[in-house]
Structure 1
Amino acid sequence: MAAGTVAELARALREDLAFFTECVRRYTAAGFGTPDTSEQRSWRNSWPPLLAALERAGLGGLRLYLEYGTPGAARRIDALLLGRRPDGVLVMVLVELKQWGSAVPVSAGMVRRSDGEVVVHPVAQVASYRAFFTDWRPADAPTLEIRARVVLHNASQEDVRALGPSSAGNGPVPVLGREDLQTDGEVLAGLLGCADLSPAGGELVRSFEGIEWTPSAGLQQRIAQSLFGKPSFALVGSQQHAYVEVRDRVAALAADPGGPGTVITIQGGPGSGKTLIAIRLLAHLQHAYPGATPRLATPSGTLRAHLLDATAAHPGGKELFPSAHTLDSAAGRARVVILDEAQRLAHDRHSPAATLERLIARVPIVVVFLDERQVIRPGEGFTVEDIRRIAHRHGRRHRAHELRESFRCRGSKAYTDWVDALLYGTPAPWSGPEGYELDTAPDPFSLQQWIDTSTRNGILARTAAGFCWPWDRAVRKNGILKPEVRIEHRDPATGTNRLWQAAWNAATRVTTPDGVVTAPPSRLWASHRGGHQQIGCVYTAQGLEYQHAGVIIGDDLTWEDDRWVAHPERSHDHTLKDLPPEEYLRYALNTYRVLLTRGADATRIYHVDAPSQQMLNRLVGRRTAVAGSPPVRHPR
């Protein structure tokens, strides 16, 4: 964002009143968004002590980059120093700046700051940057040595020692505190990792700034394996046809870069393999056509969080999955953009996310994966026909594919067909197939017991519900979430009412005072330890799957007079609750379709409305249930 010699930037910082204003402008222009007041405050607090230390160490001639952005603006390095070793080799020194006074480790790679917030250990953070540059360094780049430092300019030596071991990844990462920065000369230069460096000449600086950072050949294959454990995932039927179509279009683009662009829509229902195909395409295109700079983007923050979490061991993966806020910047270099869960795209042209219209206008090949029946909010969602019209408006060819297979629910398209009939057509009795377990739960207690038992047996099991209870994201001081999902159930055996209650998925990671994680952050609720103890919603479940799915249908959707009736006034989703019932109905049906199709091996349903539950009981063959009774097994 800001670049120059240390001396030049230090002088600008001292003398130029417009320096920070210009930094804000460049930050926004680089695709990072608009820096908030806390971000700008951190610049004003951290840059002066760093620059003062660098000048005192006699390093004024080294090249310095502040807020250095990686490709696609996926991450920013607080400071990057560039110098030359005596043998002429370029050296990058990556610096992570923190204003903290103190922090203590609470788990592997995590620390608790003095304000109680649990965050990534700064050593792990800067080590991930080092790993990025290692993994993304192209073969034709100049030889580079990469060093890393953490600077806690407000921390005492005791605070620094409290952080624990300072090694991660490829060797130690020194952590410097306030007293370290108060030394000077060669000693300070050594602490900063620059004692043997001299200024790089203009030619070396230009060679560094001209590097096109791209993933190494094996990164994509490792990402695919990390995500799914299926590096040789076999494509079948319509999946193979869609894959070959994209592959051939990119080959044609490589042969004729000036040819007309193409937009390819690939529509598929739950479990049709959309995300797996997207990953497979990304791996192939990056390996076969690295010049295409392919990117896989999604407007679903939950899905992106899982992509990044699955590739955490390979930090270079982050640039391949741009966020909604950085997609515009990433698309500026990409020749191919793959959009997964595209039904979550907003129509708002002024959104910080790059809309489909802008992508199609700028990128030669756009591949769009979507499911029209997974639109869950007003202002979101494109149909295949919408995309065709946009493509033609921009002179792009349009090709459409439909994925007919299902690989979730034990490969049972019969189950997804049953769900579609239940919600959009004429509900039919469940009649198979063998191997997939569908049942209703007589009460929320037995549903939770099933989830808990599954989890103890090593099965990934989760319960998700309609947004029919408040969620204020509050956490008690002892690390226990507020049990806001509350259901009063009348026990038919005793005639008494029993209160069942549970917490929604946590907004952020929740830990006890001694550092034990009691709840993962909401975007990782579906896969991380402890998630089975919270209730998920459509926003944390969409795009994902788990083995056993518990589903709580709220009273915003009830079965009355042989049809589904919507009750938006019973919703706590602020984006939906004020809609008229006939409009709300569409989003409610789509929401429960998502929740009902997450289970790979089994689904169990509980409806809070007794008549609606009785209808579901009849469809799956269950008699009127008694609380606590064992699940009924039906012959197939």
Structure 2
Amino acid sequence: MPNAQRQNSALYKLNRPTNQLTAQQQSIQEQVIQFCLANANAKQATFLIQGAAGTGKSVLLSNLFKTLQTLARKTPTSPLYGCQNYLLVNHPEMLKLYKSGVTPSSVLLKKDFQRPTTFINQAAKNQQSVDIVLVDEAHLLLTKPDPYNHFKQNNQLDEIQRHSRITILVFDEQQVLKVKSYWQQQQLTQRINLIPHQTAQLTQQFRIQAHSSIENWIQAFHHQQVLALPHDPHFEFKVFADANDLYQAIRFKNQTSGLARMLATYDFPATLNDGHDHFVETPTFKLRWDRYQPTAKTYWAEREDSIDEVGSVYTIQGFDLNYAGIIIGPSVTYDPQNDCLVIHPEYYEDQAAFAGASHLADPIAAKHRIILNSLYVLMSRARNGLYLYAIDPALQTKLLSL
């Protein structure tokens, strides 16, 4: 595969060789291996890996799992030889990506990768306990029963720990997108503080190929602040007055650089699996939401036809783009008097994301956090350029003034 194509391949990024991990990633991988060896006979232990979007969490976890499976299946001298290990991920597109990396010569098997509910239900049915379970996107684990996803217990992390001796979690509180998986740092630490545990933090930004001012701007926006637009010669940060002009710019970038796609906040009607197309619309722009294709072999942004679609937060979470064109819908507005973003949960079309919020201590704050988290996920996808258009006139005026 030519180098340019490899850089645009999600599979290549996920299957990066160990010698291409950073010193920080290699150090954390070694810490996890040593933790597993030290707790090889423990009843329960947890290693927590944290990091913001784009810090290489999934890359590290993929490499780590391959190393553990090599020890478990190919290294008779290792104390971990014969261990039964699994990697779990809730995101169906990420699960597809992990499984696509399995080859006949690999130490990995497709059955090693499962969704959390599948693993939990099978383990409960068979009264089974395994050795090591790695969980990617642990912030997506359910914190309450969810009949739609066939989860009847109260908390997926509790159930995973019940059926594994060592649990390795990758977690980012800023990427929680639903009340039914509403994690806060305190909830997580309470669950691991009473057992042998260790934590590590990934800090180096890999996705956003720019000065830290770009990431700082996105983080500030996530906290409802609109800062002066940063300038970096290596990163294109643009605000468009017309959504169709933005789309044409994304199409051009897709032709010249690849992996350029349209994204939008979940502020436009959509119904999953109803057999109909649904559209993201502005006065000058109309494009269908991404079509759900569970049998597609490649992930959404690598399909040629997805340039004619708009991806949602659920489509793109966990993946990279070279250029992201984002339409910010009416749930996010701007207050000129107080110079801050204002969040309107009533305009958020994914009302299912708020199911169960009334049982939380502060339902409104939770809804605001979910919308802001979804915006953060969208904005943190781009490696080389971020293009914005806002539906709210006040926010659009503010962005253009920057």
> What is the distance in 1 between the residues matched to 2:395 and 2:85?
47
Contact 2:225 2:341 in 1 (8 A): no
Distance 1:309 1:484, change over 3 A: same
Output the amino acid matched with 1:292: C
1:405 aligns with 2:204: yes
Gaps of 5+ in 1: 1-223, 489-498, 510-519, 620-636
Q: Determine which of 480, 486, 501 is the counterpart of 2:286.
A: 501
> What is the distance in 1 between the residues matched to 2:297 and 2:389?
22
TM-superposed deviation, 1:418: 1.4
Larger radius of gyration between Structure 1 and Structure 2: 1
Q: Which residue in the other structure is 2:167 paired with?
A: 366
TM-superposed deviation, 1:269: 0.4
> What is the distance in 2 between the residues matched to 1:598 and 1:227?
14
Q: Determine which of 175, 179, 186 is the counterpart of 1:385.
A: 186
Within-5 A mapping of 1:173-572:
228=14, 230-253=16-39, 257-259=40-42, 261-290=44-73, 291-311=82-102, 317-328=109-120, 329=122, 332=128, 334-349=130-145, 352-353=150-151, 355-393=156-194, 396-410=195-209, 412-424=211-223, 426-473=225-272, 482=277, 484-488=279-283, 499-508=284-293, 524-560=299-335, 561=337, 562-572=339-349
TM-superposed deviation, 1:278: 0.3
Contact 1:549 1:598 in 2 (8 A): yes
Contact 2:14 2:58 in 1 (8 A): no
Distance 1:571 1:426, change over 3 A: closer
Helix, strand or coil: the match of 2:174? helix
> What is the distance in 2 between the residues matched to 1:285 and 1:273?
18
Q: Which residue in the other structure is 1:602 paired with?
A: 385
Greater relative contact order (Cα 8 A, min sep 6): structure 1 or 2? 2
Helix, strand or coil: the match of 2:201? strand
Higher mean C-alpha deviation, range 271-280 or range 451-460 = 451-460
Helix, strand or coil: the match of 1:485? strand
Deviations 1:362-415 (A, max 9, x none): 31211110110111111214344323322344xx21212111111011164432
> What is the distance in 2 between the residues matched to 1:424 and 1:418?
10
Distance 1:432 1:317, change over 3 A: farther
Helix, strand or coil: the match of 1:258? coil
Output the amino acid matched with 2:88: A
Distance 1:388 1:320, change over 3 A: same
Q: Which residue in the other structure is 2:7 paired with?
A: none
Q: Which residue in the other structure is 2:350 paired with?
A: 573
Deviations 1:86-116 (A, max 9, x none): xxxxxxxxxxxxxxxxxxxxxxxxxxxxxxx
> What is the distance in 2 between the residues matched to 1:437 and 1:556?
25
Helix, strand or coil: the match of 1:526? helix
Q: Which has the higher helix share?
A: 2
Gaps of 5+ in 2: 1-9, 74-81, 358-362
Instruction: State TM-score, norm by structure 2.
Output: 0.82
> What is the distance in 2 between the residues matched to 1:227 and 1:273?
9
Higher mean C-alpha deviation, range 262-271 or range 557-566 = 557-566
> What is the distance in 2 between the residues matched to 1:279 and 1:326?
20
Within-5 A mapping of 1:582-597:
582-597=365-380
Deviations 1:198-220 (A, max 9, x none): xxxxxxxxxxxxxxxxxxxxxxx
Output the amino acid matched with 2:302: S
Contact 1:596 1:603 in 2 (8 A): yes
Deviations 1:465-503 (A, max 9, x none): 011111135788xxxx63521111xxxxxxxxxx42110
Distance 1:571 1:347, change over 3 A: same
Contact 1:295 1:320 in 2 (8 A): yes
> What is the distance in 2 between the residues matched to 1:552 and 1:314?
43
Contact 2:322 2:385 in 1 (8 A): yes
Contact 1:293 1:333 in 2 (8 A): no
Instruction: State TM-score, norm by structure 1.
Output: 0.53
TM-superposed deviation, 1:241: 3.4
TM-superposed deviation, 1:347: 0.8
Contact 2:270 2:279 in 1 (8 A): yes
Output the amino acid matched with 1:436: F
TM-superposed deviation, 1:228: 3.6
Helix, strand or coil: the match of 1:486? strand
Output the amino acid matched with 2:31: E
Output the amino acid matched with 1:525: W
> What is the distance in 1 between the residues matched to 2:111 and 2:255?
36
| Paired residues, number | 367
Distance 1:389 1:338, change over 3 A: same
Superposed CA RMSD: 2.9
> What is the distance in 2 between the residues matched to 1:469 and 1:350?
24
Deviations 1:304-351 (A, max 9, x none): 123234548889642121123321236935311111111111112576
TM-superposed deviation, 1:605: 0.7
TM-superposed deviation, 1:247: 0.8
Higher mean C-alpha deviation, range 589-598 or range 405-414 = 405-414
> What is the distance in 2 between the residues matched to 1:594 and 1:475?
26
